[in-house]
Structure 1
Amino acid sequence: MKVCLVGSSGGHLTHLYMLKDFWKNEDRFWVTFPKEDAKSLLKDERMYSCHYPTNRNFKNLVKNTFLAIKVLRKEKPNLIISSGAAVAVPFFYLGKLFGAKTIYIEVFDRMDKPTVTGKLVYPVTDKFIVQWEEMKKVYPKAINLGSIF
């Protein structure tokens, strides 16, 4: 199985990295911001740099959409996993067109309100994970796995 882990640097990247027990033995690649924390954490990983800032930035959404087309065509992942933020959106929608399964993990600090990215990817996500039972009121098809921290 080939896994694409896509997300912003910082907390979102840390969130995905904490899933290491799941992805450590898989063929994988990362899509994230080319910031120092990402470069350091992923120094031995295959990483594609995406354009930022992403939130409410139409120009970078377009650039990241073209990046998603290029990367997804080249890598052909079976599974795309993200915990946000906005860079996940083009990868999830285009990933579905390319036949990938998607898993979205809503961030830990959201207990009763959705994130913008969560709302946008919810319709195309195969498994939508929340970390608080209250979030199932926001995302009825979600699975509560509790905290991954």
Structure 2
Amino acid sequence: MKVCMVGSSGGHLTHLMMLKPFLEGKERFWVTFDKEDARSQLSEEKVYNCFFPTNRSIKALIKNTILAIKIIRKERPDLIVSSGAAVAVPFFYVGKVYGAKLVYIEVFDRINKSTITGKMVYPITDLFIVEWEEMKRVYRKAINLGSIF
């Protein structure tokens, strides 16, 4: 199984790093911002750098969609996992076209309100995970696995 881990640097990347035990023994690659924290945390990993800032940026969305097409076509991941933020959107939609399974984890600090990214990818995810029971009122098909921290 090949896994694509995609997310912004900072808290989203830290969130995804908590899944490292799940990734043991799996072929994987990461898509994130070229920032110091990402370079440090992923120094031993295969990484593709995406464009930022992404928040409400049509230009970054277009550039990251083109990047997603190139990377997904080359790597052909079986599974794409993200906890956001906006860079997840093009990778999820392109990944869906290429047959990847999609798992989205809504961020820990959202207890009763959706994120923009969560709303955008929710309709196409194969598994949508929340970390608070209250979030199941926001995302009806979500499952609550509790905190990954």
Q: Give the TM-score of the pair, scaled to structure 1.
A: 0.99
For residues 132 and 92 of structure 2, what CA distance do their matches in structure 1 show? 23
User: Between Structure 1 and Structure 2, how many residues are aligned?
Assistant: 149
| 1:1-149 equivalent positions in 2, closer than 5 A | 1-149=1-149
Q: Percent identity?
A: 71
SS of the equivalent of 1:103 reads strand
**Unaligned stretches of 5+ residues in structure 1:** none
Deviation at 1:106, TM superposition (A): 0.1
- Letter paired with 1:79: L
- Take 1:7 and 1:87, find their aligned partners in 2: how far apart are those partners? 6
Provide the C-alpha distance between the structure 2 equivalents of 1:86 and 1:70, rounded to a whole number of angstroms: 18
1:25 Cα shift?
A: 1.4
- The offset of 1:79, in angstroms, is 0.1
Q: Which string of whole-angstrom CA distances, capped at 9 and with x for unpartnered residues, describes residues 79-107 of structure 1?
A: 00000000000000110000000000000
Q: Secondary structure of the equivalent of 1:62? A: helix
Structure 2 spans left out of the alignment, 5+ residues: none
Separation (CA, whole Å) in 2 of partners of 1:58 and 1:24: 35
* Deviation of the 1:24 alpha carbon: 2.1
Distance 1:90 1:23 in 2: 22
After TM superposition, the runs of 4+ consecutive aligned structure 1 residues lying more than 2 A away are none
Q: Distance in 1 between matches of 2:134 and 2:9?
A: 27
TM, length-normalised to structure 2: 0.99
Tell me the amino acid that sits aligned with residue 113 of structure 2. Answer: K
